[in-house]
Amino acid sequence: MKFDPDYTYRMPVAFGPMPGPRQALPGCAPRGGEASITSYALRFTTTAEALAELLPPRFTLNGEPVVTVEYTELTDVPWLAGRGYDTFAVKLPVRFEGREDDVTGSFVAVVWENMADPIITGREELGYAKLFADLTSRPAGPDAHRCEASWDGHAFAELEFERITDVPPEPASTQDGVLNFGYVPGVDAGSAPDRTGAVLTPAVDGVEVLGQATATGRVRFVRSSWEQLPTFYNVVNVLERLPVLSQGECVVRRLRRNIENRGQRRLV
């Protein structure tokens, strides 16, 4: 086989380049990069010391030690031929100060998704800290909503909103973008990683805010054992131990925006 420099490859490479969110192949019929999004975001204040332990090198907190827990429903995703998937993310406000780059944005500490395809493309190509989970989102009453993350029947995170009230929509954030720390381990045991470092996904222009609401809410991470979550119990337990000093705002937003995540670049 020969590698075509005009395409991005993912495993299995023997079959040639693979289609995905940033690459179409003959036979694909993408309809642009926009998808419909509904997000349920809750913010709470914790201690700066607790969050500092989660930040990679050259990352510092940008402002107050606020944790954003966000459940997102994506529908009508073009690169999935109109299908959709859900995400459950934990984000921190950060600044990256490198030798050349100085940017601010949301650092995605972890994001669970309920479909393998966006996990694979997001980890390999973008450096997102993605894990798999079963995710459910459903109304819990006329003005209430409940989101849950579980693995093999064990629920490890819950997000509940009540008194959801429509308000005038606000413009989208103007930060530099989303920050990640990509890490690809070396093949040989004990060897240095094949790739490691900060990555910026630039903010998207032209976000259409279709609706917005406020709510009261709570988030709960369930302390879990290795037997319950064999591959990421430690992630959940660190989040469960974060002190909750004060509850912040709860926001429900309906958006239409591009989700291709082009313009990705490493930060130095």
Domain residues of the chain, as ranges? 37-266
Determine the length of the chain: 268
What SS3 class is residue 183? strand
What is the C-alpha separation between 197 and 254, in angstroms, rounded? 32
CA dihedral (79, 80, 81, 87) positive or negative = negative
Query: Given the structure tokens 């993605």, which residue do they identify?
Result: 130
Pairing of strands 144-151, 134-141: antiparallel
What is the C-alpha separation between 86 and 89, in angstroms, rounded? 10
pLDDT at 191: 87
Phi-psi region of 44 (alpha: psi -120 to 50; beta: other; left: phi over 0): beta
Looking at residue 63, what DSSP letter applies?
A: S
Tokens of 158: 């819950």
Looking at residue 114, what DSSP letter applies?
A: S
Run means of pLDDT, 10 residues per run, the chain, 268 residues: 91 93 83 88 97 97 97 95 96 97 96 97 93 97 96 98 95 82 90 93 88 96 98 98 93 92 90
What is the C-alpha separation between 235 and 132, in angstroms, rounded? 13
Looking at residue 23, what DSSP letter applies?
A: B
Selected from 3.40.190.10, 2.60.120.200, 2.40.400.10, 3.30.428.10, the CATH number assigned to the domain covering 37-266 reads 2.40.400.10
Contacts of 29 (CB under 8 A, 6+ apart): none
Tokens of 135: 């995710």
pTM listed for this prediction: 0.95
Burial class (CB in 10 A: 0-12, 13-18, 19+), 165: exposed
